[in-house]
Amino acid sequence: MMSVRIALAGIGKIAGDQHVPSIAASPDWELAATVSRHGRIDGVEAFTDIERLLACRPDIEVVSLCMPPAPRFEYAAAALRAGRHVMLEKPPGATLAECVALEALAREKGVSLYATWHSREAAQVEKAGAWLRDKRLVSATIIWKEDVRRWHPGQDWIWRAGGLGVFDPGVNALSILTAILPEPVHLKAATLEVPENRETPIAASLDFAHPGGAEVTAVFDWRQQGDQTWTIDVETDAGRMRLADGGATLTIDGRKQADADGDGNALQGEYPRLYARMAKLVRSGGMDMDLSPMIHVADAFLLGRRVTVEPFDE
């Protein structure tokens, strides 16, 4: 089967670290062009404008968007209107309404649209969901704490309205939660800690309503020093489970489960699996626009009690 020509828009850290290597390693894809005002990939045709790319390269079937969420809608809409399939880095848009509009446009044009949630592809997430499927939930506790200076240095857009703040990594945890719980939950309360010199939260605590009365909570914090923490602890009527390392490590009743990917790296295999999924969607004419993780984020901003905390500076 011939590879599909794809363009990558938004050549920053996540593109270089994850998207470019995943595309290069896959027989499904040929990286045919990039779109970026500043970045480029050696040996790949570069454009600075999405409309120019679409006009000059009608042979490119798929556009993968890696830029921050705020400008992503215009790029995605342009590609869809031109009849191209579109792959969206998480979160899929700056607002839910944007995502709904993109889905309607994709259906109108008969092309594939994929809202990716890379943490769902971590090594042990699927196995965790399978273990929980026939059990009654007692509690689920998310602790997602990391050092923003380490993982997002100099990225001022995350602190501006629309940049999500600590929910940029927090939505990764929510994407796992919504994938593994047998029954959906909805947010009932939240507290958002916002630095006095920023527009988005640096920390948040969430409290969810579960249809069976289970206690489901989450704590996100971008001020973590030392060891980074990405865990989901679940208690059921038939035992306990812990997903750690962002979904790469699974422990059930104190016994660590075998890791199919071998090295316990939370990012190992995530983006290759996303691109494999996109290839299947393109071949089948399918679409995947699950917005459930983003709904929880939107509800946190709607319901959240805002607390002003000390300024944050890099």
Other CB atoms closer than 10 Å to residue 108's CB: what's the count? 10
How far is it, in rounded angstroms, from Cα 170 to Cα 217?
A: 12
Which residues have CB under 8 Å from 311's CB, separation 6+?
Answer: 195, 196, 197, 198
Q: How far is CA 298 from CA 144, 255, 261, in A?
A: 18, 36, 33
Which residues have CB under 8 Å from 240's CB, separation 6+?
Answer: 233, 234, 252, 253, 254
How far is it, in rounded angstroms, from Cα 294 to Cα 22?
A: 25
Other CB atoms closer than 10 Å to residue 58's CB: what's the count? 10
Give catalytic status of residue 90 as yes or no: yes
User: Which one is catalytic: 13, 90, 127, 256?
Assistant: 90
Q: How far is CA 50 from CA 56, 75, 90, 288, 314, in A?
A: 10, 6, 19, 23, 32
Nearest alpha carbon to residue 32 among 107, 92, 82, 84 = 84
Q: Which amino acid is at 238?
A: A
Q: Which amino acid is at 40?
A: R
Active centre residues (catalytic): 90
